C-alpha cells in the first residue's frame, strides 16, 4: 500500500510540475517572441507596439521604454509559474531520487555512496551551480554576452562530467537539469521580479525607473530562454537509457545541451527576422552525430547457441523483483513501464528492450542493485543474437 500511495503522489507531483512548467515556459517564450516582433512606434515613450489576432479577436500590445506616465489600476505579474515549477520539481526530485536514492541516484559501479552522502552532494550541486552562475553574471564578464556564454558552456560541460562521475547516469542527468532550473528560477526571484518592483515603486513615487533594472531583467530572461530546451531534455531523459546509460553519457549531455541551446538561438534570431542556418544546422547535426555514436552495434561474432534456461535463471534473480505482476522489490508497486518478464513468452517479447537496458546502456538493474555480472550480460546478448529461442 505504501508503494501504491507513493506512486500516486509521484503522478500528481509530475502532473503539476508539467502543468506549471508549461505555463512558465509558455510565458517566457511568448515574451521573448513579443520583444523581437515589436514594430517601431512614432510615440517616443514606446519601444514599440504589436498588433496580433488570436482566438477570434484582435490584440494591441505596447511596450514602454521606461515606464508608463502613470501607474495602471491593475498590473499583472508573471512569477508564480516559475516558483511553482521549481517547488513541484524539487518535491518530485526528493520523492523519486532522494527517497529512492538506491534505485535512481546511486550506482556503486560509478561511486560507492551512502544515501545521505548522495543526497548531500545532490543538494550541494544546486547551491554551488546557482552561486557560480550568479557570481559570473554579476562580474565584469557579464558585459560581454559571447564571453559569458562561452565560460558558462565550459562550466556546464565540467558540471556534466562531474555529476556523471558521482551519480548513476539517470541521477546525474536530472541533477544537471535541476541545476539549470534552479538558476532559472533564481533569475526570476532575485533579479527579474525585484527589478520590476523597483521600477513600479519608482513610478509610484514619481521618479524615473533605473534603466539598469530593465537591462538586467532582459539579460536574465534571455539566459533563461536558452536554458529551456536543455532542461526539458533532462526532464524526459530518464525514459531513454541510451543517452544516460552510455559510457560517454556526460558527452551526450553536453552535446544535447549545446544542440538545444543552438536551436533556441535560431528561433530567437528568426523572431528578429534574421536567422542564419548555422545554429539550427549545427544543433541538429550534433543530435545526428550523437545518435550515430550511441547506436547499438550488431556483433555477428556474438552468435552462439545459448540455452534459454540459463537466461531465464539470470532474469529471475536479477530482474524479476521489479518486472513481475506483483513486484517484490521494496518501493515498487508495479512493473516499470509495464514490462513483465515473468514468463518465457514475455521475456522473448521484450528481448530487444532487455538488451538495450541491460547490455547496451547497462541502466538496468538500476544502480546494479542485484549485482548482474558482465558475464551474465554477455550471455543475455548472445542468446538474443542466436535468435532469442525459448525452447
Give pTM, 2 decimals. Answer: 0.84
Assess contact for 165 and 247: CB atoms under 8 A. no
The rounded distance, in Å, linking the Cα atoms of 123 and 116 is 11
Q: Render each residue's pLDDT in the chain as its tens digit; 391 residues.
A: 566 788 888 889 999 999 999 999 999 899 888 888 898 888 888 889 999 999 889 999 998 877 777 777 788 888 999 999 999 999 999 999 999 898 889 988 889 899 999 999 999 999 999 999 999 999 999 889 899 999 999 999 999 999 999 999 999 999 999 999 999 999 999 999 999 899 888 888 888 888 888 889 889 999 999 999 999 999 999 888 888 888 889 999 999 999 999 999 888 888 777 778 899 999 999 999 988 887 766 555 555 677 888 888 898 888 888 898 888 877 777 788 788 888 888 888 888 888 878 887 777 887 777 888 888 888 888 888 888 888 7
The rounded distance, in Å, linking the Cα atoms of 216 and 221 is 9
C-alpha cell at 81: 509559474
Q: Rounded to whole angstroms, what are the CA distances from 11 to 54, 185, 342?
A: 33, 23, 26
Cell 503522489 belongs to residue: 9
For residue 47, report the phi and psi dihedrals to the nearest 5 degrees.
-75, -25
Assess contact for 104 and 96: CB atoms under 8 A. yes
**What is the reported pLDDT for 147?**
93
Strand partners, 62: 49
Cell 543526497 belongs to residue: 119
Buried b (16+ CB within 10 A) or exposed e, 43-52: eeebebebee
**What is the reported pLDDT for 364?**
82
User: If DSSP codes are grouped into helix, strand and coil, which group holds residue 59?
Assistant: strand
**What is the reported pLDDT for 375?**
86
**What is the reported pLDDT for 274?**
79
**What is the reported pLDDT for 296?**
67
C-alpha cell at 227: 536554458
Query: Which of these, 237, 259, 246, lies nearest to 297 by C-alpha position?
Result: 246
C-alpha cell at 30: 511568448
Amino acid at each position: 500500500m505504501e508503494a501504491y500511495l507513493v506512486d500516486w503522489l509521484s503522478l500528481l507531483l509530475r502532473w503539476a510540475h508539467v502543468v506549471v512548467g508549461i505555463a512558465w515556459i509558455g510565458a517566457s517564450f511568448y515574451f521573448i517572441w513579443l520583444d523581437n516582433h515589436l514594430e517601431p512606434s512614432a510615440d517616443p515613450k514606446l519601444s514599440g507596439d504589436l498588433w496580433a489576432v488570436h482566438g477570434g479577436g484582435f490584440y494591441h500590445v505596447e511596450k514602454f521604454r521606461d515606464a508608463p506616465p502613470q501607474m495602471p489600476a491593475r498590473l499583472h505579474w508573471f512569477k508564480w509559474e516559475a516558483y511553482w515549477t521549481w517547488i513541484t520539481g524539487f518535491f518530485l526530485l526528493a520523492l523519486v531520487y532522494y527517497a529512492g536514492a538506491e534505485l535512481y541516484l546511486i550506482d556503486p559501479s560509478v561511486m560507492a555512496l551512502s544515501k545521505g552522502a548522495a543526497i548531500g552532494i545532490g543538494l550541494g550541486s544546486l547551491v554551488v551551480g546557482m552561486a557560480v552562475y550568479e557570481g559570473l553574471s554579476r562580474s565584469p564578464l557579464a558585459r560581454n554576452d559571447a564571453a559569458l556564454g562561452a565560460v558558462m558552456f565550459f562550466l556546464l560541460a565540467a558540471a556534466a562530467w562531474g555529476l556523471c562521475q558521482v551519480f548513476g547516469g539517470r541521477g546525474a542527468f536530472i541533477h544537471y537539469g535541476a541545476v539549470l532550473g534552479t538558476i532559472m528560477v533564481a533569475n526570476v526571484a532575485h533579479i527579474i521580479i525585484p527589478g520590476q518592483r523597483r521600477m513600479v515603486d519608482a513610478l509610484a513615487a514619481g521618479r524615473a525607473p533605473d534603466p539598469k533594472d530593465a537591462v538586467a531583467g532582459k539579460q536574465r530572461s534571455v539566459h533563461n530562454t536558452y536554458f529551456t530546451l536543455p532542461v526539458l531534455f533532462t526532464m524526459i531523459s530518464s525514459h531513454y537509457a541510451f543517452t544516460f546509460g552510455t559510457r560517454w553519457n556526460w558527452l551526450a549531455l553536453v552535446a544535447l545541451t549545446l544542440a538545444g541551446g543552438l536551436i533556441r538561438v535560431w528561433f530567437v534570431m528568426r523572431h528578429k527576422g534574421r536567422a542564419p542556418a548555422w545554429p539550427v544546422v549545427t544543433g541538429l547535426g550534433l543530435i545526428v552525430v550523437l545518435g550515430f555514436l550511441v547506436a547499438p552495434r550488431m556483433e555477428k561474432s556474438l552468435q552462439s547457441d545459448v540455452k534459454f534456461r540459463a537466461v531465464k535463471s539470470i532474469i529471475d534473480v536479477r530482474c524479476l523483483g521489479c518486472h513481475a505482476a506483483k513486484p517484490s522489490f521494496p518501493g515498487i508497486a508495479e512493473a516499470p513501464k509495464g514490462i513483465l518478464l515473468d514468463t518465457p513468452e514475455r521475456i522473448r517479447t521484450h528481448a530487444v528492450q532487455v538488451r538495450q537496458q541491460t547490455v547496451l546502456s547497462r541502466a538496468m538493474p538500476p544502480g546494479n542493485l542485484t549485482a548482474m555480472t558482465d558475464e551474465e550480460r554477455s550471455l543475455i546478448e548472445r542468446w538474443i543474437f542466436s535468435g532469442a529461442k525459448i525452447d
